Amino acid sequence: MHSMANLAAIVFVVILKVAVLWPFTAAQLRPDYYAGVCPNLEGIVRSSVKQSMVKSPISAPATLRLFFHDCATTGCDASVMIIGSTGDDENPDGYLLKPEGFQTILDAKAAVDSDPQCRYKVSCADIIALATRESVSQSGGPNYTVELGRYDGRKSTDRSVRLPDPSDNLDSLNAFFSTLGLSQTDMIALSGGHTLGAADCDFFKYRTGGNDQSMNPSFDAQLQETCAKQNFAFLDDVTPIGFDNLYYRNLQNGRGLLGSDQVLYTDERSRGTVDFYAANQGTFFSDFVIAMTKLGRVGVKTAADGELRRDCRYPN
Ligand code: HEM
């Protein structure tokens, strides 16, 4: 009889704890987070991103970079989307986050909210994570499961921005990524995101003209010519809109665009991983997915410190 009473007491305490912790446990990430409230979420985002990619080849690279920038700065909370009323926000002009990435997210959010079941129930942070997966997979990269349940942050300031520098050496890159809980292997796999998109000449011009011995001389000449005509060059100029492992093969040939790209091959401590990904696209894809999943867990907000933003550009 006693043990029955004890059991009942234990069950009561467990239920009470679950009830008290609900707002926090509810924000634990899981793939089926929206299954009840917005069952068609993934399909809606998939077709919206598809349309964005048809409209512009910049959509996919810009969205992938937006996700990295968002997660690396105060966590994956869509704070990068906020337009600060005084001009102070995470996206001042210097970082060159392209408008096509923001538009991809705003269009996906509008598509989600046009479904009455889903309206205002899905966070902007989760829409960024899903739109990023679509940008990668619809560019030929891996199609992976996305964990969901992030809340949106309420703040966005320029001074909170923390990003690696394109001239960083391996130690600096490792130091930066370790603050996000990411390993050197994660960092090398994520750098493979530079299989898509372009960089402004200002970020790599200092390496050209024979100033960087790790740069292939014919690539050097090609970049000087490119930058004389336009202000950008592709990060992977072999397949700039295809998500593949040619980024790593370029590094083997001294054709990495940014200093932070080429150093992954120049430094013997990371060269083995570059060689491995250059030879095994499947392993690159699976390590990229592992690293993106870890990146997607950085600084996740809960109902206690976040909200479901109605307009991704402004806190509610
Ligand atoms: C390892 C440290 C990294 C550095 C130093 C770095 C730096 C840069 C720079 C300077 C640009 C050029 C921006 C411009 O001129 O528009 C760029 C572009 C880009 N970055 Fe990174 N990045 C890093 C890591 C990452 C990661 C982890 C991802 C995603 C997984 C990523 C995805 C991209 C993409 C897709 C672009 C092209 C954007 C576009 O064409 O609009 N980067 N990055």
pLDDT tens, residue by residue, 16-68:
343 333 333 334 899 999 999 999 999 999 999 999 999 999 999 999 999 99
Task: Compute CA 232 distance to the chain's CA centroid, rounded to the nearest angstrom.
Answer: 21
Is domain 41-163 given the CATH code 2.40.50.140 in the classification? Answer: no
- Ligand 1 centroid to 196 CA: how many Å? 9
Task: Compute CA 186 distance to the chain's CA centroid, rounded to the nearest angstrom.
Answer: 13
- Ligand 1 centroid to 65 CA: how many Å? 6
CA distance 62 to 76: 16
Q: Is the pLDDT of residue 8 over 80?
A: no
Nearest to 193 by CA among 110, 297, 72, 73: 72
Top pLDDT among 157 and 190 is at 190
Q: Is the pLDDT of residue 313 over 60?
A: yes
Active-site positions?
A: 69
pLDDT the model gives residue 83: 82
Q: Is the pLDDT of residue 92 over 70?
A: no
- pLDDT classification of 191: cutoffs 50, 70, 90: very high
Percent of the chain residues past pLDDT 70, beyond the cut = 89
Does the beta carbon of 62 lie inside 6 Å of ligand 1?
yes
How do the domains of the chain map onto residue ranges? 41-163, 170-294
Contact 224, 288 (CB under 8 A): no
Phi then psi for 306, rounded to 5 degrees? -140, -175
Annotated binding residues for Ca(2+): 70, 75, 77, 79, 195, 236, 239, 244
Q: Is the pLDDT of residue 161 over 90?
A: no
Top pLDDT among 121 and 87 is at 121
pLDDT the model gives residue 181: 97
- Ligand 1 centroid to 24 CA: how many Å? 33
Domain 170-294, CATH: 1.10.420.10
Atom of ligand 1 nearest to the CA of 68: 29
User: Which residue has the least CA distance to atom 6 on ligand 1?
Assistant: 166
Q: Is the pLDDT of residue 4 over 90?
A: no
Q: Is the pLDDT of residue 9 over 60?
A: no
Does the beta carbon of 133 lie inside 6 Å of ligand 1?
no
pLDDT the model gives residue 94: 60
